[in-house]
Amino acid sequence: MSESKPTVGLIDAGGANLGSVRYALERIGVEVALVRDADELAACQRVILPGVGAAAEGMARLHSQGLVEPLRQLDKPLLGICLGMQLLYEHSEEGNVDALGLLPGVVRRLHPAVGIRVPHMGWNKLLALRESPLLEGIAAGASAYFVHSYAAPVSSHTVAVSHHGGLFTAMVQHGLYCGAQFHPERSAGPGEQLLRNFLAMDFS
């Protein structure tokens, strides 16, 4: 990859975190282009799918923008954030909706228990499960900021997990497809480093 920063397409899927993710990227010197249709998607070198809200509404928005099939056929690096990461999977229990199917697995609701509240909201530690460029420069046991009620299962593609009533995937990578269940734009140093890592990764 060249030394210049890639043009990052930030998909406007109606998530409330769109502006804060854009600001986090611009703060580290990244050229950001908002993506609302397939033509704008095709012009980007890397793509980020942020999201806050419900899976069914998120998928409905992507369908209405004509982005579902282009995303399923995407041959560029893609990072999903929070709901955006969940939509990379095959299916979500939230609304019983089929998602993009770029990652295998079903996103399921977190289970409340004594001392365990759902939604999971606040800072929680990341536990690395395997080596990945996504973790470069992120200290072992670093904390990140989460806000979610559903989570992806732990699999061979899981890079790091967190624990809230059980282990769930906090970071994932499978080929070109990456995800963070936490909010990097609200996770201080570790969040900024994750964004930098995604932009610097060699996917060739």
Residue 53: what pLDDT? 86
pTM of the model: 0.94
The pLDDT averaged over each successive group of 10 residues in the chain (204 residues) is 66 83 94 94 95 91 96 97 97 97 97 90 97 96 97 98 96 97 97 97 90
Q: How many domains does the chain have?
A: 1
* Residue 2 in domain: no
User: Residue 71 sits in a domain of what CATH number?
Assistant: 3.40.50.880
Domain that holds residue 163: 8-200
Burial class (CB in 10 A: 0-12, 13-18, 19+), 141: exposed
Active-site residues, by number, are: 82, 183, 185
CA nearest 203: which of 174, 180, 176? 176
Identify the pLDDT of residue 9.
96
**End-to-end C-alpha distance for the chain, whole angstroms:** 9
Does residue 12 lie in a domain region?
A: yes
pLDDT at 4 (0 to 100): 52
3-state per-residue secondary structure call for 23-51: HHHHHCCCCEEEECCHHHHHCCCEEEECC
Q: Would 1 be classed as within a structural domain?
A: no
Please report the pLDDT score of residue 201 as a whole number. 96
